[in-house]
Amino acid sequence: MEALAVRLSHLDSHVGGAIRVVAFYDTLMRRRVDLPALARASAGLAECVAGIRLHGTGQLIRMSPDGRQASAPPSPASSTAPITLDEEEIGTVWLERLSPPGPLDEVLLDRLAIAAAAVVERYGPARTTMADPALVELVISTGSDEAARARALRLLGFAADLPIRVLAVRSQLPLDQVGGLICPNRPVKAALLAEVGVILATTVNPAQFPAGVRAGIGAADSPDRSWRQARTALRFTTPRQPVVHYGDLGALALLTEIPPDAARDNADVAAITRMADSAEDLETLDAYCATGSLRQAADLLHLHHSSVARRLEQIAKTLDIDVTEPTGLARARLALITWRLLDD
């Protein structure tokens, strides 16, 4: 490689320099250096501050050309490159050059990013969000013994003392993107099992779920129990309530234990089934059940309250339930939820 670089440098100094940069990082990778050593060597080669940041752990490394940690406030990056592992962006590398980027900065950062990804993969669990489905299944399976479950969690990168919350997710977006949004800068893993997304997370920010994603969130208990709870909570999600915590269901969770045939035979559920052919009536009933208020339902539906009142009169006749009185409203709510569970 060095001989080739010398020969090419006589023809094109840029090509020769690029090959020398490649050889430089090949040597570092053969020596199995860690991330601080990579940043230190890169700063010395570039003669400016070099940085490495990992998204999953929040680890940040900035080294100056003298081999020490950069103490000055970060300057704007003159060049950046993503660190990718298993086709997922797991971090960033950059140079803080005060002058315009040099002719070899792009090559340097490209090789630094490749070397950083190799270090992450070699010295610990991959910091990618997507995980081996077999390991995730071992974590959430009721048939796993605790030793096997603990080993699987360790291989996935979770510390033994961290509580694990399990989520059941239906999403058109990539699961790694969803996981990164709801649990930024903390351990999080995702996998697709039987057409349902599984996310293992140490913390969850429900407000960060993207639009269009439905999720059931289990309690931070044993992962197998949390998974069962998450799947139950997912069944209760709706377009109006796309994220449901199992703990918020309370006694409503018992509805999932009703045999489907018994639920279909119930008069109130059967009435909802007949009414479901009218999307307008179904939407009106859903809004009224969600709010318990004529005016609030009208606000949700963007209608005048008198229009909603007329719709509810017709719905009451169809269901043979007076939804404007407390007992009738409770019956309608339970029937609507039970009907939805039948379709899940």
Confidence of residue 170 (pLDDT cuts 50, 70, 90): very high
Residue 180 identity (one-letter amino acid): G
Round to whole Å and give the CA distance between 2 and 296: 75
Q: Does domain 258-343 have CATH number 2.60.40.10?
A: no
Round to whole Å and give the CA distance between 163 and 217: 14
- Smallest Cα–Cα separation from 126: which of 57, 40, 33, 173? 57
Confidence of residue 131 (pLDDT cuts 50, 70, 90): confident
Provide the sign of the torsion angle of the four alpha carbons 300, 302, 307, 311, taken in this order. Answer: negative
Round to whole Å and give the CA distance between 108 and 59: 21
Q: Please report the pLDDT score of residue 231 as a whole number.
A: 96
49-76 average pLDDT score: 86
Start-end of CATH 1.10.10.2840 domains in the chain: 258-343
Q: What is the mean pLDDT of the chain?
A: 88
Residue listed under structure tokens 């719709």:
311
- Asked if residue 63 lies in contact with residue 46, where contact means CB atoms within 8 angstroms, the answer is no
Residues 6+ apart with CB under 8 A from 259: none
- In what side-by-side order are the strands of the sheet with 60-63? 60-63, 49-54, 88-96, 79-85
Asked if residue 317 has pLDDT above 60, the reply is: yes
Round to whole Å and give the CA distance between 100 and 81: 16
Considering only CA atoms, give the Rg of the chain.
28
The predicted-structure confidence for 236-289, as pLDDT tens digits, reads as follows 999 999 999 999 999 999 999 999 999 999 999 999 999 999 999 999 999 999
Mean pLDDT lowest among 55-59, 180-184, 338-342 = 55-59
Question: Residue 317, SS3?
Answer: helix
Round to whole Å and give the CA distance between 172 and 170: 7
Confidence of residue 1 (pLDDT cuts 50, 70, 90): very low
317-324 average pLDDT score: 92
Residues 6+ apart with CB under 8 A from 226: 140, 164, 165, 166, 218, 219, 220
Asked if residue 34 has pLDDT above 50, the reply is: yes
∠ CA 190-94-98, nearest 5°, is 160
Start-end of CATH 3.30.450 domains in the chain: 2-122
The predicted-structure confidence for 71-126, as pLDDT tens digits, reads as follows 878 888 999 999 988 777 888 999 999 888 988 999 999 999 999 998 887 765 55
Q: Please report the pLDDT score of residue 158 as a whole number.
A: 84
Residue 140 identity (one-letter amino acid): I
Q: Please report the pLDDT score of residue 293 as a whole number.
A: 92
Confidence of residue 11 (pLDDT cuts 50, 70, 90): very low
Q: Please report the pLDDT score of residue 186 as a whole number.
A: 80
Cα atoms in the Cβ-side hemisphere of radius 13 Å centred on 256: 16
46-68 average pLDDT score: 88
Confidence of residue 13 (pLDDT cuts 50, 70, 90): low
Q: How many residues does the chain have?
A: 344
Asked if residue 185 has pLDDT above 50, the reply is: yes
- Smallest Cα–Cα separation from 235: which of 315, 342, 318, 308? 342
- In what side-by-side order are the strands of the sheet with 243-245? 188-193, 196-201, 165-170, 214-217, 243-245
Asked if residue 5 has pLDDT above 80, the reply is: no
Mean pLDDT lowest among 68-72, 163-167, 228-232 = 68-72
292-297 average pLDDT score: 92
Q: Please report the pLDDT score of residue 156 as a whole number.
A: 86
Confidence of residue 128 (pLDDT cuts 50, 70, 90): low
CATH architecture of 2-122: 2-Layer Sandwich (3.30)
**DSSP code, position 311:** H
Asked if residue 232 has pLDDT above 60, the reply is: yes
315-335 average pLDDT score: 94
∠ CA 81-172-152, nearest 5°, is 70
H helices of the chain, in order, are 2-11, 13-30, 35-46, 105-122, 133-140, 146-155, 175-182, 223-235, 260-265, 267-275, 279-291, 294-301, 305-319, 326-343
